[in-house]
Amino acid sequence: MESSLVLSCEDWVAEKGIYTINIGASSKNLKLSCKFSLAKELIVERDSKSLSPQVAIDELKK
């Protein structure tokens, strides 16, 4: 599963499904792994501009 930033409305969208969080010093040195699931799509709306990037972000093309 994936989450992504929708630049047109500046919201974060997480698709429903199973996610894995890995914690460690690097991808080759993981100390902890945890799975969780989202039962439905989750949209986190931007509430303020305090964490907005100062420069334009080029959206990745699929």
Cβ–Cβ under 8 Å, residues 38 and 14: yes
Distances (CA, A) of 23 to 8, 42, 48: 31, 22, 28
Rounded Cα–Cα distance for residues 54 and 28 (Å)? 32
Q: Is 42 helix (H, G, I), strand (E, B) or coil?
A: strand
- Which residue ranges make up each domain of the chain? 3-44
CA-nearest of 1, 42, 45 to 21 is 1
Give the pLDDT score at 43: 82
Over residues 26-45, the pLDDT tens digits come to 989 999 999 999 999 888 87
pTM above 0.75, yes or no: no
Cβ–Cβ under 8 Å, residues 14 and 22: no
